[in-house]
Amino acid sequence: MFPTLIEFGGTRVPTYLVALLTGFCLALWLGWRDAKNLGFRRQEYLDFGIWLLIFGIAGARIFHVLFDGLGQDYLALCLNPFELDGFSLPEGLCSTNLECVRGGGGPVCNPSDGLCYPARDCFRVFKFWSGGLVVYGGVIAAGLFAWWYARRREINWRGVLDLGAWGIPLGIGFGRLGCYAAGCCYGKLCDLGLAVHFPVNSPAYRNHWENFQDALQAQWQSGIEGSLGVWPTQLMESFGAFAIFLFAYFWLRPRTLDERLPKGSAFGISIALYAALRFVLEFLRADERGELLSLSTSQWISLVVIGLALWMNTRVQKSATS
């Protein structure tokens, strides 16, 4: 796990942010050739891409705050961090802030319960570069902006959406690599050979320390440090997203360019494939997320996305043949 890629002068550059921007820049670069055919000028396309990034991040962050069940946590982090769940150090109860800092449990020790807590931070809700983005929120917000922009500029909006058929999974692929580096979005316990162990003080480790102390201590005695073995859900989603990108760019894209497939259909197919992938992988995730009727928020959104994608492709096909 490498949550910080570069650190200089007290400034940390999160690996997650670098991975996210790398995926975005590559998607923007790949889309330029097709964007020219849609009527974009170079500077206009760059401006369009920057606005896509802004809307995408804003939508992803808003969905995270609203639907991941962490809204009250952000409020408590601003008003009174001691209302959050404290972290107990492996050595026992803390008595000083320095012990919490060294143990990675948060910089503030609460002497009344001996647990470590994060420092007060009213701006944490805006710090997306530290993690906490919901893919679907970004896709919905950026997609709506792209549709509005294309209609306003009288550009073929279906062709604009098709740019996302390969751009979105490419960005997700890099973004999930960033998740793996940050240790977020981790999976449930796994005893198979593909299981991964996250280091001490990672989100998975803290979860296991609070809920599976006996198993964790038994693992330590066997010489394995870090969290218990978990499903590598971040890598699984990353590989799946890259596979969708390859399929969309090298199979769907040529068929939309020569009109064997109507414009707009590539986006519908690609987003439906991702929704199906996400629906399955959500069963393997263990990080804290919103839930309704035994399904996560993302699983419900996946079902809606699949339905909308099928409906959209049906409409596109009918429009192409009429």
Annotated binding residues, written as ranges, equal: 176
Q: Give the span between the Cα atoms of 204 and 189, in whole angstroms.
A: 10
Q: Give the span between the Cα atoms of 290 and 67, in whole angstroms.
A: 5
- Identify whether the C-beta of residue 60 lies closer than 8 Å to the C-beta of residue 137: yes
Report the DSSP pairing between strands 291-292 and 295-296: antiparallel
The residues, any chain, with a CB within 8 Å of residue 231's CB and separated by 6 or more, are 186, 187, 188, 190, 194, 195, 284, 285
Q: Give the span between the Cα atoms of 15 and 6, in whole angstroms.
A: 8
The residues, any chain, with a CB within 8 Å of residue 320's CB and separated by 6 or more, are 262
Which residue has tokens 């992938």?
277
Q: Coil, helix or strand for 230?
A: strand
Beta bridge partners of 87: 116
Q: What are phi and psi of 238, to 5 degrees?
A: -60, -50
Contacts 24+ apart (CB under 8 A), 260-266: 262/158, 262/316, 262/317, 262/319, 262/320, 263/156, 263/158, 263/159, 263/162, 263/316, 264/158, 264/159, 264/161, 264/162, 264/312, 264/313, 264/316, 265/162, 265/313, 265/316, 265/317, 266/162, 266/165, 266/166
Q: What is the DSSP string of 274-306?
A: HHHHHHHHGGGB-S---EETTEEHHHHHHHHHH
